[in-house]
Amino acid sequence: MAFHNYLGKKGEELAKEYLQKNGYTVLESNFVFQKAEIDLIAQKDDTLIVVEVKTRSSVDYGNPEDFVSPKKIKLLVKAIDEYVNLKNLDLSIRFDIISVIHDKGNFTIEHLEDAFYHF
């Protein structure tokens, strides 16, 4: 497995653990609909949270959250609409980004709530 793939998987595991420690229930990992993939779908109270996990080995080229494009946001919105319809849920939806920075064996986690708004 390539190092960046390993890093991505590790980042998702750490993000999942972080959410669980902070009172979230993780409902799905890697939910795929058409061309869209949602890294994590979690729930806290009456809110469904779409979590995009961005793992980087440095912030030299910008923060991980800077790499979520408008196209990616559109795909996430489509995928979560499908998920909500499949599960027949009536919850408010929030989009978060969890950035995981790997630096010399240490991981730093930053959780951005309401990272972007869907239209």
Is residue 117 one of the residues assigned to a domain?
Answer: no
Is residue 27 one of the residues assigned to a domain?
Answer: yes
How high is the pLDDT of residue 119? Answer: 45
CA distance 71 to 7: 23
Only one residue has tokens 């799905």, namely 28
Is residue 92 one of the residues assigned to a domain?
Answer: yes
Number of domains composing the chain: 1
Confidence of residue 67 (pLDDT cuts 50, 70, 90): confident
Is residue 90 one of the residues assigned to a domain?
Answer: yes
Is residue 108 one of the residues assigned to a domain?
Answer: yes
* Helices and strands in the chain, H and E counts: 2, 5
pLDDT tens digits, 70-113: 899 999 999 999 999 999 999 999 999 999 988 888 999 999 99
DSSP assignments along 75-94, one per residue: HHHHHHHHHHHHHT---EEE
Is residue 32 one of the residues assigned to a domain?
Answer: yes
Across all residues in the chain, what is the average pLDDT? 90
Cβ pair 53, 12 in contact under 8 A: yes
Is residue 118 one of the residues assigned to a domain?
Answer: no
How high is the pLDDT of residue 40? Answer: 98
Domain ranges, residue 36: 3-112
Is residue 119 one of the residues assigned to a domain?
Answer: no
Give the CATH number of the domain where residue 42 resides: 3.40.1350.10
Amino acid of residue 116: F
Structure tokens at 5: 């793939």
CA separation (Å) from 18 to 29, 40, 88, 89, 100? Answer: 14, 12, 27, 24, 11
The structure's pTM equals 0.90
Name the percent of the chain lying above pLDDT 90: 70
